[in-house]
Each structure stands twice: as C-alpha cells, then as structure tokens.
Amino acid sequence: MVKVFAIILFTGVLTENFVLRQFLGICPFLGVSKKLNTAMGMSAAVIFVMVLSTAVTFPINKYILEKNNLTYLQTIVFILVIAVLVQFVETVLKKFMKPLYNALGIYLPLITTNCAVLGVVFLNLDKISGGDLNFLSYPYSGSLVNSLGAGVGFMLAMFLFAGVRERMESCEIPKFLQGLPITLIAASLTSVAFLGFDGVIEGIFK
Amino acid sequence: MAEKTRLRRELTKGFIKENPVLRLVLGTCPTLAISTSVIGAIGMGISATLVLIGSNAVISALRKVIPSKVRIPVYIVVIASFVTIVQMLVKAFTPAVDEMLGIYLPLIVVNCIILGRAEAYAGKNPVLASTIDGIGMGIGFTAAIILMSIIRELIGSGTLAGIQILPPSVAPMAIFILPPGGFFVYGMMMAAANRLAERKGLAKAELNGCDACPMAGSCGIKNDGKDTKEEVTA
C-alpha cells in the first residue's frame, strides 16, 4: 500500500509534472515565478486547495452525480464547488487561523480560476475510469495522494524556475528575445530536464 | 457608417493587434497542450470560440443585472454552462476530437481568454459589440493555435492533420511534439510577434505579473511583475 502511494506521489511530482509535462497552471508559472517567496506562497496555497478540492469533489461525484446519472454536470458542479470551497476556507482561516491566513490568504481567490486545480480533479477521475491499476485499488486515497503529488510538482517547478529566472536577470539577452520569449525558452529547457525522469518510477519501484 | 467601422474594428482587433495568444498572453495552457496536432488545434479553437461567443453575449446582456460584488462567480457559472453544452456537442458529433482534447475540453472553463474577455469587455459593453469581440478573439485564438500546431506537427512528426508531408526518409524531431518543443515554439512565435509589433510601433507582449489574470482585480497580491532592475532599463 505504501508502495502504491509512493508510486502515485512520485509520478505526480516528476514524470507527470503538472506544469512542465502537462501544461497546467502556466499563467502563475510564468507570472508569479519572478520572486521566490511569492512563488512559494502561491504553490503552498495551490497544494492546499488541490488536496481539499479533491477531498470534496470526489464524494460529490461518486455519491451524487454518478448515482443520479448526472455526470454531464461535472464541469459546472466542480468549478462551483471549488469556488465556494475556496471562499469558505478563506473566511474560516481569517477568523480562526490568522498566521496561516497571512501566509496563504491573499493567494486563495486567485486559485479558483487556476486550471491546475480543476485539472487535477478531472485527471483523478480520468485515471480511475481509464483503469489505472494504482488508482483502482485505492480510488479515494489514491486521488488524494495524486493531488498532493501534483501540488508538490507545481511547487518544485515554480521553485526551480524562480532560480532559473534569477540567473537570467544578469544575462545579456538578444533584443528580440527579451522578456517573455526567453522566459518560455528557459521553461522549455527546464522541461527537457524533466523528460529525463521518464521511466525512473518504474526503475525504482519495480 | 461610423458604427459599422467601429464594429469592424472590434472584430479585427482580435486577429493580430490584440491577438489573445501572442499579444495579450492569455490562454497559454491549452495553446501549449493541444498544439501537438492540427486536428486537435482546430477542435480546441472552435470549441473555445463557441464558448467565448456565447458567454460574451449572455454576460453582456446581463451586465446591468449582475451585482459587481459577485460578478466573477456569475461569469463562471455562465461560462461553465456553455462549456457543458460544447462538451456534449463535441462528444456527440466528433468523439475522436473529444478523445484528443481530453481534460482540456472541460478546462475551457478556466481558460483565461474567456473569463478575461468577460471581465475586460463583455461586462462593460453592449451585446452586439461583445458578441463581435468574442468572434474576433476566438478567431485570433484559433489562428494562433493552428499556426503553432502546424509548426509542431510538421517538424515533430512530419505530418499535417495526419497526412504525411515530409518524405519518410526525413526523421521527424520528436522533441517538437513533446512538452519542451511546445514552450520553445511558443517562445519563438512570441519573439517573432514582438519583432513585428516593434516594426509597427506597438509595445511588445509582456506578462507583467498578474496582468493576464482575470482575478487580479479581486486579489490581494500587488504584483506588477516589475522589479527595480527592469525599471532602470525601461
């Protein structure tokens, strides 16, 4: 069981990295990765919301939507549930956990429209219906671990890329590449590095 | 007459001058993810355009009814409804495209182009202008994503829309259809667009922190993306 969870977790972080392999959450990746502490705060909030929204949407899907043949409403239900959840968490944190609110609070409203959060919810369902063996044995806990892995992967990508961008500040860049183009090309090279993780999970755990 | 030219300008601004992908830096996620094949790109472009037209029209028609405090949730509900409709249509009529788009089809809900246009344009302008803005932006998005997919599919697998173009003796460079190729081609296209913009005397495309994010207005981070170093050079 520990092995299954470890496989799911490391697959999410490395080989199926959300930002660099699946292109989810690119806006914050390009927009907020300039300052390391903002990037880390944002990523922590993303991890938090990802796990929480998976925890809530999974039972809703299984016991309400699937029971009543309403799965075509998934998109609209999930986005609303996530939006309401984020608002609710923000209010609760503000009232009862001031330090945590100060650290994560300002990022929370942003995350409602982050495609990585809705993406992880759909991806979990996809993996279960697609017959992924690791998920079939532990659908709910596996989904939670996968969401955690996706969030940590997002954080890792943000962290690495913030470092890359810091180095770029002191480089002389050809004029036509300055700004966004060179950022994208740097992202491309970071992504090449992640291609190197292909097969590493099978190698370690099998 | 003046009304007509104004509307025509609303339509064509999305094509090049304010192209959502290359100039406004919106909708980067689907652009990068789906542009590995021309067929997928066309499917994505048309689906997003339909959602954009529908949501722009409805949001603009309701703009005086929606209280500004809850406008974002209302916009999201409207957009999600249109996405559900489009999802059903795609599933029913082109199941192959549905397979290709995968989770990116429902993720049109959080595509920044759509929420961004709702917030920046449809929430403030009359129905006809908003619909035309939606059509123009949709065409701009579709054109950019198709252009990118042509480059990536041709170099990455030697085909266009599944038809072999390069002779089989030319080995395709598979990295172009892998994620790094996506970032690279997008970066190069952005560089070319900036160069052309500069020639026309327009500012270059720049993602200044939260500019592309439709939530920026209701969010606490004051990240204008500028640090001291850039201010010196600018």
Q: What is the pLDDT of residue A165?
A: 86
Is A204 within the bounds of a domain? Answer: no
How would you class B126 by CB atoms within 10 Å of its CB: exposed for 0-12, middle for 13-18, buried for 19 or more? exposed
List of chain A residues whose C-beta atoms are within 8 Å of the C-beta of residue B206: 179-180
DSSP 3-state of B105: coil
What are the boundaries of each domain within chain B? 2-163+171-199
Domain that holds residue A175: 2-197
User: Best interface-test mutation with A: which of B183, B207, B208, B218 has the largest number of A CBs within 10 A?
Assistant: B183
DSSP 3-state of B68: helix
How would you class A176 by CB atoms within 10 Å of its CB: exposed for 0-12, middle for 13-18, buried for 19 or more? middle
Greater confidence (A110 vs B23) lies with B23
pLDDT tens profile B52-65? 999 999 999 998 89
Q: Going by C-beta distance under 8 Å and a sequence separation of 6 or more, which residues neighbour residue B1?
A: none
What is the β-pairing status of strands B163-164 and B159-160? antiparallel
Report yes or no: B122 and B56 within 8 Å, Cβ to Cβ: yes
User: Which residues between 152 and 181 in chain A have a beta carbon less than 8 angstroms from any beta carbon of chain B?
Assistant: 169, 176-177, 179-181
Nearest to B17 by CA among B231, B207, B204, B233: B204
- Token pair 């089809």 is at which residue? B105
Is A203 within the bounds of a domain? Answer: no
pLDDT tens profile B51-100? 999 999 999 999 889 888 788 888 888 999 999 999 999 999 989 888 88
Cβ contact (<8 Å) for A31 and B218? no
Nearest to B140 by CA among B10, B13, B4, B3: B13
Q: Count of domains in chain A? A: 1
Maximum distance among all alpha carbons in chain B? 62
pTM of the model: 0.85
What is the C-alpha to C-alpha distance for residues A86 and A188, in angstroms, rounded to an integer?
Answer: 32
ipTM: 0.85
List of chain A residues whose C-beta atoms are within 8 Å of the C-beta of residue B181: 188
Closest CB from A72, A114, A123 relative to B110: A114
Shortest alpha-carbon distance between residue A187 and chain B (Å): 6
* CA-based nearest residue in chain B for residue A33: B209
Is A27 within the bounds of a domain? Answer: yes
Cβ contact (<8 Å) for A35 and B88? no
Report yes or no: A115 and B110 within 8 Å, Cβ to Cβ: yes
Alpha-carbon dihedral angle through residues B135, B137, B141, B143, given to the nearest 10 degrees: 60
* Tens-digit pLDDT string for chain A (206 aa): 788 888 888 888 888 888 888 888 887 788 777 778 778 888 888 888 889 899 999 899 888 888 888 888 888 898 888 888 888 888 888 888 787 777 776 677 667 667 888 888 888 888 888 777 777 777 888 889 989 999 999 999 988 888 888 888 888 888 888 888 888 899 999 899 888 888 787 777 76
List of chain A residues whose C-beta atoms are within 8 Å of the C-beta of residue B87: 72, 75
